[in-house]
């Protein structure tokens, strides 16, 4: 039986891998893991307590706010405030940035955290996997009160990213630029334990993940790619299978393990797609590249996209490199995407 390595032990062992290793980043990851355990506890009993359903509020995305969205957001903000390593938060649940380096404990904080505290929460009420997604940046200004410009950094500046998936088991998956590692929560000891070291996505796969309910509104390049996926061709192992959970973290995680592609393209009423760049597309793109995969908007690398506003959206094609490039080929031929200069 190989020795069990907890997330805490792993962080300490790998601390020297991190260019800014002074312990602060390690504490930041631990802060996120603490909040994840608290959220996990509530997600797992959501059907038993009055935490299901909607608050009656609508967030900046125009989406109904779920009680568990609010709870998760509060837990991650509280953990980051208490930990003292984070100076600024961008959250899907908050219209504006949350500066938190005005307290004694956070006055020297060096990290910006962009987070979707509970992605896919509409699935909670029907007991389908949901997740948390986060991206971590170093702050731009050495000192002083944190400002919004520190949240509008290019994906290329990201120093770490990860997600927590609250599914059949709860996993903490993250990367600091040296590969992707997955930790499974052992509830009996309350620790995330290394279960998926050095995760890498298969070069190709047989699964495509897209909301085909929007098919008639898809760009022609996407329509042509879907027909390619559905054609019978033994030489290229087709037809593929369609798998769509409607929870990005769950769809992403399955594809990371099995190989596949997830696409949320421009569609009716969402010309830039639905998913947000800062706290969904960018962190997932960072992870997929660290795992050997690819992520683009159909042409441009996601991590190179200009970041201009907190809740901006982007079309996303993400997953196995060969599959993303195949889809990009159809987009180039039938629905060319504007190249970023
Ligand atoms: P649709 C959940 O609301 C989410 O943000 C992602 O987790 C998911 O991939 C997507 O939206 C699902 O959107 O339009 O297919 O319901």
Set out the domains of the chain in order of their start, with CATH numbers: 7-199 (3.30.540.10), 207-334 (3.40.190.80)
Residue 66 Cα to ligand 1 midpoint, Å, equals 14
Q: Is 247 in the pocket of ligand 1 (CB under 6 A)?
A: yes
What distances in angstroms separate CA 257 from CA 91, 200, 260, 325, one per listed residue?
Answer: 27, 7, 9, 19
Whether 25 has a pLDDT exceeding 70, the answer reads yes
pLDDT in tens, 273-298: 999 999 999 999 999 999 999 999 99
- Tally of CA atoms within 13 A in the half-sphere of 263 that contains its CB: 31
Looking at ligand 1, which atom is closest to the CA of residue 275? 5
Q: How far apart are CA 226 and CA 240, in angstroms?
A: 9
Which residue CA neighbors atom 13 of ligand 1 most closely?
246
pLDDT confidence of residue 207 = 98
Mean pLDDT in residue range 296-325: 98
**What is the distance in A from the centroid of ligand 1 to the CA of 120?**
6
Q: pLDDT digit string (tens) for 54-68?
A: 666 776 666 666 688
Between 277 and 69, whose confidence is greater? 277
Does the pLDDT at position 117 exceed 80? Answer: yes
Q: Please give the span between the terminal C-alpha atoms of the chain, in angstroms, as a whole number.
A: 52
Give 124's pLDDT tier (boundaries 50, 70, 90). confident
Q: 195, 319, 193: which is closest to 256 by C-alpha?
A: 319
Residue 170 has pLDDT above 70, yes or no: yes
Task: State which ligand 1 atom lies nearest to the alpha carbon of 280.
Answer: 5
Q: What is the mean pLDDT of the chain?
A: 92
Q: What separation in angstroms does the CA of 278 have from each of 76, 133, 151, 153, 307?
A: 17, 10, 8, 9, 8
* Whole-number pLDDT of residue 105: 82
Would you say 90 and 67 are in contact if contact means Cβ atoms under 8 Å apart?
no
Question: What is the percentage of the chain residues whose pLDDT exceeds 90?
Answer: 77
Q: Which of 65, 248, 278 to mutate to test the pocket of ligand 1 (most atoms within 8 A of CB)?
A: 248
- Mean pLDDT on 291-320: 98
Provide the pLDDT for residue 49: 59
Give me the pLDDT at residue 328, please.
98
Encode pLDDT of 316-327 as tens digits: 999 999 999 999
**pLDDT at position 47:** 61
Q: Compare 105 and 206 and report the one with higher pLDDT.
A: 206
Look up the pTM and report it.
0.94
- In tens, the pLDDT along 223-242 reads 999 999 999 999 988 999 99
pLDDT, residue 65, reads 65
Lowest-confidence range among 38-42, 118-122, 214-218? Answer: 118-122
Write the CB contacts of 73 (distance below 8 Å, at least 6 apart in sequence).
91, 92, 93, 94, 117, 118
Task: Write down the pLDDT at residue 20.
Answer: 65
Band of residue 52 on the pLDDT scale cut at 50, 70, 90: low
Predicted local distance difference test score (pLDDT) of residue 1: 59
Q: Map tokens 């997955």 to a residue.
A: 182
Cross-strand bridge partners of residue 184: 171, 193
Cβ neighbours for 80, distance < 8 A, ≥ 6 positions apart: 28, 31, 32, 35, 86, 89, 100, 113
Ligand 1: centre distance to CA 122 (Å): 9
Statement: residue 115 has pLDDT above 80: yes
Distance 238 CA to ligand 1 centre (A): 26
Quote the pLDDT of residue 102.
Answer: 75
Query: Model confidence over 176-203: pLDDT tens digits?
Result: 999 999 999 999 999 999 999 999 999 9
Burial class, 311, CB count within 10 angstroms (exposed 0-12 / middle 13-18 / buried 19+): middle
- Residue nearest ligand 1's atom 4 by CA: 120
Least-confidence region, from 122-126, 139-143, 161-165, 249-253: 122-126
Percent of the chain exceeding pLDDT 70 equals: 92
Q: What backbone phi and psi angles, to 5 degrees, belong to 142? A: -65, -35
**Residue scoring higher pLDDT (153 or 121):** 153
Bridge partner residues of 185 (DSSP)? 192
The C-alpha R_g of the chain, in whole angstroms, comes to: 19
Residue 64 Cβ inside 6 Å of ligand 1? The answer reads no
Q: What pLDDT score does 66 carry?
A: 65
Q: For ligand 1, atom 1, which residue shows the shortest CA distance?
A: 246
């Amino acid at each position: 039986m190989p020795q069990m390595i907890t997330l805490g032990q792993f962080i300490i062992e790998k601390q020297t891998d991190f260019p800014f290793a002074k312990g602060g980043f390690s504490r930041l990851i631990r802060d996120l893991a603490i909040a994840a355990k608290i959220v996990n506890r509530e997600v797992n009993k959501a059907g038993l307590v009055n935490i299901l359903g909607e608050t009656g509020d609508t967030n900046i995305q125009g989406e109904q706010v779920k009680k568990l969205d609010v709870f998760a957001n509060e837990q991650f903000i509280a953990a980051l405030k208490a930990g003292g390593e984070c100076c600024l938060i961008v959250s899907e649940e908050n219209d504006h940035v949350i500066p938190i380096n005005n307290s004694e404990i956070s006055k020297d904080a060096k990290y910006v955290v962009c987070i979707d505290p509970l992605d896919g929460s509409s699935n909670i009420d029907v007991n389908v996997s949901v997740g948390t997604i986060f991206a971590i940046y170093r702050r731009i200004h050495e000192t002083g009160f944190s400002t919004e410009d520190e949240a509008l950094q290019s994906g290329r500046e990201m120093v770490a990213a990860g997600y927590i998936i609250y599914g059949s088991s709860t996993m903490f998956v993250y990367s600091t630029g040296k590969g992707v590692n997955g930790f499974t929560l052992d509830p009996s000891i309350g620790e995330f334990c290394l279960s998926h070291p050095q995760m890498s996505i298969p070069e190709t796969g047989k699964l495509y993940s897209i909301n085909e309910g929007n098919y008639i509104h898809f760009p022609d390049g996407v329509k042509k790619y879907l027909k390619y996926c559905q054609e019978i061709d033994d030489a290229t192992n087709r037809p593929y299978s369609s798998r769509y959970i409607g929870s990005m973290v769950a769809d992403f995680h399955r594809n990371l393990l099995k190989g596949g592609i997830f696409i949320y393209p421009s569609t009716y009423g969402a010309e830039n797609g639905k998913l947000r760049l800062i706290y969904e597309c960018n962190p997932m793109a960072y992870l997929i590249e660290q795992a050997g995969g690819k992520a683009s908007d159909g042409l441009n690398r996601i991590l190179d996209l200009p970041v201009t506003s907190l809740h901006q959206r982007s079309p996303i094609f993400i997953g196995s490199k060969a599959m993303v490039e195949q889809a990009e080929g159809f987009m180039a031929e039938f629905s060319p995407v504007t190249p970023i200069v």
